[in-house]
Chain A
Amino acid sequence: MRRSLALLCLALAASVVGAEPATTIRAVDLKARAASDAKTIASLPINTSVDLVRREGAWVQLRSGKDLGWAKLFDIRLAGATTGPTKGGSNSLGDVLGLASGQRGASVTTGVRGLDEDMLRRAQPNAAEFDKLVSYASTKEQVDAFLKAGNLQTRTVEWLK
């Protein structure tokens, strides 16, 4: 029972919304496992169109034709990236997920206006809303329970240079 639950969780954690179209931004060695010392199963040139199957930390699992293997997150850009080497077509990730603002039903139904410079300059302080913000603060007990449930293990990490 416990084991099947763990497997289910694992499946949930790894799940993505279908495969996401992406492009390599450099020549990439596709690895058999998510590890630098794993066997290289294919070498992809720069600007290769791939499908991102799933993410795992620093690594992404990519499908390129018949090959399925692992590359670094930084080796790719998702299709539709405006500054990436290729432009996504009409079926880019953003469109599939309905992320492009023109296609996101939510933005129409909520009627909440975007936060632009003009709004920032005209805003009047809302003290009652700030009190509400304070009321949402977590207690020590809540954070304790939250991090225990999340199995978060603290680590020693130096600030980056």
Chain B
Amino acid sequence: MQHRRHRIAASAAAALLMLLPGAWLSPPAHSAEPVNPLSGFSIGGFNVGKMIDAAKDAQGLGDISEPQEIQIGESVAAGLLGAAPLDTNAQEEAYVNNVGRWLAIFSGRPDLPWHFGIIETESVNAFATPGGNIFITRGLMQRIHTESELAGVLGHEMAHVVQKHHLADIKKHSTQGLFLDLAQIRGGGGLRGDAARAFARVGLETYARGLSREDELEADAIGVVIAARAGYEPYGLASVLQTLATVPSSDADMALLLKTHPSPNDRLVALEQKLPPWFDTLAKPNPALARFNQTFKPSSASN
């Protein structure tokens, strides 16, 4: 019995290893292209949903190149880090980066320079910059109980990047001249120069103002799929929203999140309507993920 169990585990590991080398450089074919969602599952009766265009260009962002997007994102990230510094616990940062980098493979934009960080603020929130920098606050980490919940939150933020939600808003609120200055970021000024400072200002204003309700609900729907593709049970985000719905709206740590997002309850209602019933079959218990509690012990909240 034990021997057999071991062999099953070994062959599963071997299968994963075979998948990996290619997976790192480019997304598995199934996540890049519309595919039959029934393959691999006996989940008859599912009505195939329409593919969301992973990198829709209906927003007129075609004139912003990916290197430019990345430079803008780095500027905004440096700006946000000026408001709240990184958690200095390398083990926690590594954990979030491991989950995030694995999820990114299934995001539709696996080749962006993805970075993930916990930032030290009691505020309950998470942020994404163009180009793939994702931040989650200490205040939100304190309310997350499992790796699947973390994956749900990171998937939501990743969806903002993939759909270029913030980039569109930044473009809308920037002058043409500012974009001409972009070259300066790489050309010498770097993240300490005037252009980076200007883009940081515009990007942080976007965080203060918030995206549209549609953008947020879309990010919820895309985020759960990214998490599900990566092997997480897809109800992690819903579970986090359940928790956030219990925090009184008068709580100062929730103020910015509530001002800039639909209420957790509204998001739960919208998410439930979008999730097809067969998603249940993706929610198998995974005891290996109990590792979350070793890195994020309840007491770590006060460190």
Instruction: Determine if B158 is an interface residue (Cβ-Cβ < 8 Å).
Output: no
B242 touches A78 (CB 8 A): yes
Partner of A109, one of B117, B123, B221, B302: B302
Bound CA span A157–B119, Å: 31
Among A92, A124, A126, A153, max chain B CB count under 10 A is at: A126
**Chain A residues, CB < 8 A from B86:** 129, 132-133, 136
B252 touches A114 (CB 8 A): yes
**Chain A residues, CB < 8 A from B153:** none
Residues 107-121 of A, flagged 1 when their CB comes within 8 A of B and 0 if not, give 101101111110111
Residues 38-80 of A, flagged 1 when their CB comes within 8 A of B and 0 if not, give 0000000000000000011111000000000000011011111
- A-B interface pairs (CB < 8 A), number: 316
B247 touches A99 (CB 8 A): yes
Bound CA span A93–B143, Å: 12
- Contact residues, B109-149 vs A (CB, 8 A): 113-117, 119-123, 125, 133, 137-139, 142-143, 145, 147
B97 touches A130 (CB 8 A): no
- What residue in chain B is nearest A94 (Cβ atoms)? B246
Chain B residues within 8 Å of chain A by Cβ, number:
130
The bracket for how many chain A residues form the interface is: 35 or more
Partner of B83, one of A59, A120, A130: A120
- What residue in chain A is nearest B106 (Cβ atoms)? A154
Residues 1-13 of A, flagged 1 when their CB comes within 8 A of B and 0 if not, give 0110010011011
**Chain B residues, CB < 8 A from A144:** 17, 20
**Chain B residues, CB < 8 A from A115:** 83-84, 119, 121, 123, 125, 137, 256
If A74-B268, A121-B205 touch, whether A150 touches B289 (CB-CB below 8 Å) is: yes
**Chain A residues, CB < 8 A from B285:** 10, 13-14, 56-57
